[in-house]
Structure 1
């Protein structure tokens, strides 16, 4: 494990992820019926939601004062989950204006871990858990493995009536992802 960190601060020298083409197939994909556990206690089936949904996907949130997995800062696109989440939190009201019915975060962390992050970060929206990688496997979401964990690569999806209509991938810098999504929504 690496040294302790402040997950709200992005180091200046984190490597940018490159577009490896691993998300090219997602635009136009109809989501499978698959309930995901949410931090508000509900089960959310993204395939059955009417209207526009934004889902930002991230590898894992860190806990202040606890070490990161070995080499975390050197993995392109790994660092920045807390700043990405805080960006969506800070722009939540604005995101709802261009016709977004709902917003979710999504990671492979378990719901109890995610609940702690939702409370600590004061997120006004639920976070979904794909702990068993069921959604990731079903639609072939890009992943990476580190320290024995298979994690989702950072991205954001616009989903209209259960169909992915826009993919933001790769996402960099992560703290600007919400602004990038809002700019696209305003122009769409």
Structure 2
């Protein structure tokens, strides 16, 4: 696993396919701040709650100058179904080989019911318009995370 990113570090560039199968790169967001959140699996209860929280805060985040991008190890087809089912209008990107998650230190050892395994660590990285990390949060909780992030970004609570 890569070392966790810290504020001031350069955000690793990436190019991944979105739910429509088109390539999206971090450099596409240059000039705006970007919230990149890593989630384990589309259409699961926690990931759906988190995605819907981002959806419901999207307009105010964008008004404050933040774009939102979700990244998971799901294939493109599953992301398309998830986006359609939940009305998600921000990009969901497929990182099936988890190379981007590894570069962002969002892939690593997890424990569940006494078992240890490798998996996606729910994480949120905020990148400034120049590609520098301003916030790096790991092992975040799905429920309440967007509200906490809004406080950390010093945005009014919704």
Q: Is TM more than 0.5 here?
A: yes
In the TM superposition, residue 125 of structure 1 has moved relative to its aligned partner by 0.9
Q: Which residue of 2 aligns with 1:87?
A: 53
Q: Which residue of 2 aligns with 1:137?
A: 102
Larger radius of gyration, structure 1 or 2? 1
SS in 2 for 1:84: helix
Q: In the aligned structure 2, how far is the partner of 1:139 from the partner of 1:62?
A: 23
Decide whether the 8 Å contact of 1:34 with 1:135 is kept in 2: yes
TM-score when normalising by structure 2: 0.79
Name the CA shift for 1:109/1:164 in 2 (closer, same or farther; >3 Å): same
Aligned length: 148
TM-score when normalising by structure 1: 0.68
Decide whether the 8 Å contact of 1:60 with 1:81 is kept in 2: yes
In the TM superposition, residue 120 of structure 1 has moved relative to its aligned partner by 0.5
Q: Which runs of 5+ in 2 are unaligned?
A: none
Q: In the aligned structure 2, how far is the partner of 1:60 from the partner of 1:170?
A: 15
Are 1:181 and 2:149 an aligned pair?
yes
**1:98-155 deviations in Å (ceiling 9; x for gaps):** 221x2111111111111110000111111011111121233433434689x8531111
Listed as ranges, the matches of 1:57-136 within 5 Å are 57-62=38-43, 80-100=46-66, 102-136=67-101
Are 1:29 and 2:29 an aligned pair?
no
Decide whether the 8 Å contact of 1:33 with 1:48 is kept in 2: no
Name the CA shift for 1:151/1:109 in 2 (closer, same or farther; >3 Å): farther
Decide whether the 8 Å contact of 1:40 with 1:126 is kept in 2: no
Name the CA shift for 1:108/1:40 in 2 (closer, same or farther; >3 Å): same
SS in 2 for 1:175: coil
